[in-house]
Structure formats: C-alpha cells, structure tokens
Amino acid sequence: MSTGYRNYRTLPQEPKFLHGTPGTIYILQNDGLREGLYRIGATRRSGVSKAMEFNRDTQNMLPGSYECVFELHSKDCGAALEAILKKFEMCRHGKRNQDFYQLEIEEASNTIVSIIAEINTLAVEKAKTRQQHAPELMRHLLPDIEPANHAVFNQPPPSFLRKAFEWVAN
C-alpha cells in the first residue's frame, strides 16, 4: 500500500525547464533561520531581485527576510543548478519544495564557481561547434544554392526563414 510519501532528497523540478537558458545562480540567506542555512536556486534575473520577490511573497510562512549573499551568471543555468544541487544533495534540509542547504558559504561559493566555469566552457564549445556547422545546415535548408558559393551563406535570404538563419548563424 502506497502512502504517498516522497523522498525529501529528490531534486526539484526547476532546472529542467531552464536547461540551455542563460541565467544567474544565487544563494540567499534568511535572517529568521539559523546560521549556515541557505537557499540555492536559479533565475533569469538577478539574485537580489529573487530575494526581493521572496520578501514580497505573502504566502511565505518563513520569518525574517531574504538577502542575496552570492550570485554568479551562467550560460546554462539549468545544467549548472542541476549539477550544484546534485553536489550539495546530502546537505539539503527542509521541505521538498524549499531548497535549503546547511553549508559553509565560502566552500559553497568556491564549488559553485568551479561548476559554473565548467558549464560555461561547455556552452562556449557547443556554440563554436554550432557555428562551424551553420553552412551545412543552411545548405540543407536551401538545396538550390551552389555549395561553392559561400558568400551566399553570409546573408540570410529576405524571406520568412530569416529568423531561422540568424538563429543558426549565431
């Protein structure tokens, strides 16, 4: 018989829809909670604006107010957050929907910086690879153009495919 009990140490669903999206990884501290308990998350805005959003939330039952103590931009915040939460999985405290972690801020920030550096490097390499393959993709989309004429691929055609060519080229 299933009681509906779920494991408290499961990863949140947030990183899945943020994969491939640039954003900010933040660490928030709540002055109403014990020392060393931090909230880690990702947003497409800044960590300070996320703290202000939590402070304005009237449904928030936590005492005190949030303050952003660390934030760093990532080229793929979903992948970065997933790797970070997996790394700090054993330090997790609180309810399933609240991502609070008991950790040392200096050690956590150093770990996050190294993970984001690795994620950003992978994102830059992926972008370079995509840019190298752009002419082949354009050749596939416009089969009547001669492959020897590479100057044609620098200018997108004046048609409804312009956005697609700009996206592939970037």
pLDDT in tens, 20-49: 788 999 999 988 888 888 989 999 889 999
Whether 161 has a pLDDT exceeding 90, the answer reads no
Residue 99 has pLDDT above 70, yes or no: yes
DSSP string, 81-134: HHHHHHHTGGGEES-TTS-EEE--HHHHHHHHHHHHHHHHHHHHHHHHHHHHTH
| Dihedrals phi, psi of 159, to nearest 5 degrees | -150, -170
Tell me the pLDDT tens digit for each residue of 1-16: 444 444 444 444 445 5
As a whole number, the mean pLDDT across the chain is 76
Give the total residue count for the chain.
170
pLDDT for residue 65: 87
Whether the per-residue pLDDT at 110 is higher than 90: the answer is yes
In this model, does residue 167 exceed pLDDT 50? Answer: yes
Helices 134-141 and 105-132: crossing angle, nearest 10°?
50
pLDDT of residue 129: 79
Question: Within 13 Å of residue 132, how many CA atoms lie on the same side as its CB?
Answer: 6
pLDDT band, residue 72 (cuts 50/70/90): very high
Better-scored residue on pLDDT, 88 or 15 = 88
The predicted structure's pLDDT at residue 29: 92
In the chain, the amino acid numbered 117 is A
pTM here is 0.65
